[in-house]
């Protein structure tokens, strides 16, 4: 049983009425991975905008077979997840982390250099729970704020450079770290509903970025196809 844990911010937890890229990834793995697998994590809910809390179970597809588990939070970043990841990996027995973090950090909490240090802390804590853990990381996708603010766009670019360096520095054979390519043809005007959060096409493109990275690097699954 290969156990995948999605880790992320608002783009990963999703909000009420959405499928989420987690669901798209589950569909992909169900069709292409040749063995048993699960999505795991200590949380299950979506974010409820009406109550401003992560309490919704109103997924767009209520398929009871979909494993809703994750470690994602609206407004949470590397800063917040680094202290949580060791216990989450340990209790959920995760084998592979699918991580999409950073935009919140850069937008509200830390600069590029500080955020990169939190990436390193996250990896250290995760490996303390599973020394053979595999981690796949999505670079930060620039959003509408980056389009409007040159300084913020520069910070996003700088962090993505530092992220690549951190993962290269920390990579090791028994616990490989994999940086995905940016989602193919991702356009914040077409693939989000507000310039930041993915709509259906954006969900597919984020799932595709993770899926293609794992297929090309580890021969896991098959090339991504929308379902």
The confidence score (pLDDT) of residue 38 equals 97
Give pTM, 2 decimals. Answer: 0.98
How many whole angstroms separate alpha carbon 122 and alpha carbon 201? 29
Tokens 């949580």 belong to residue: 84
Question: What does pLDDT average to in each consecutive run of 10 residues of the chain (227 residues)?
Answer: 98 98 98 96 98 98 95 98 98 98 98 98 98 98 96 98 98 98 94 98 98 98 90
pLDDT at residue 226, rounded to an integer: 81
Write down the pLDDT at residue 184.
85
Q: For residue 75, which of 105, 41, 115, 116 has the smallest C-alpha distance?
A: 105
pLDDT given at position 174: 98
pLDDT at 150: 97
Tokens coding 110: 């830390």
């Amino acid at each position: 049983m290969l156990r995948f844990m999605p880790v992320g911010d608002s783009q990963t937890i999703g909000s009420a009425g959405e499928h989420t890229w987690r669901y798209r990834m589950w569909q992909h793995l169900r069709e292409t991975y040749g063995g048993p697998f699960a999505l795991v994590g200590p949380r299950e809910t979506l974010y409820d905008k009406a109550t401003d809390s992560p309490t919704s179970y109103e997924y767009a597809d209520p398929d009871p077979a979909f494993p809703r588990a994750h470690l994602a939070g609206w407004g949470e970043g590397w800063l917040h997840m680094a202290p949580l990841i060791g216990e989450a990996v340990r209790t959920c027995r995760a084998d592979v982390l699918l991580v999409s973090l950073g935009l919140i950090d850069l937008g509200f909490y830390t600069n590029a250099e500080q955020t990169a240090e939190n990436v390193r802390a996250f990896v250290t804590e995760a490996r303390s729970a599973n020394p053979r853990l595999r981690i796949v990381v999505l670079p930060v996708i620039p959003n509408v704020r980056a389009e409007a603010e040159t300084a913020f766009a520069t910070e996003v670019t700088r962090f993505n450079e530092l992220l690549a360096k951190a993962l290269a520095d920390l990579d090791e054979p028994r616990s490989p770290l994999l940086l995905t390519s940016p989602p193919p043809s991702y356009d914040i005007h077409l693939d989000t509903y507000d310039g930041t959060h993915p709509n259906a096409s954006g969900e597919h493109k984020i799932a595709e970025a993770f899926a293609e990275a794992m297929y090309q690097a580890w021969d896991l699954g098959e090339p991504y196809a929308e379902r």
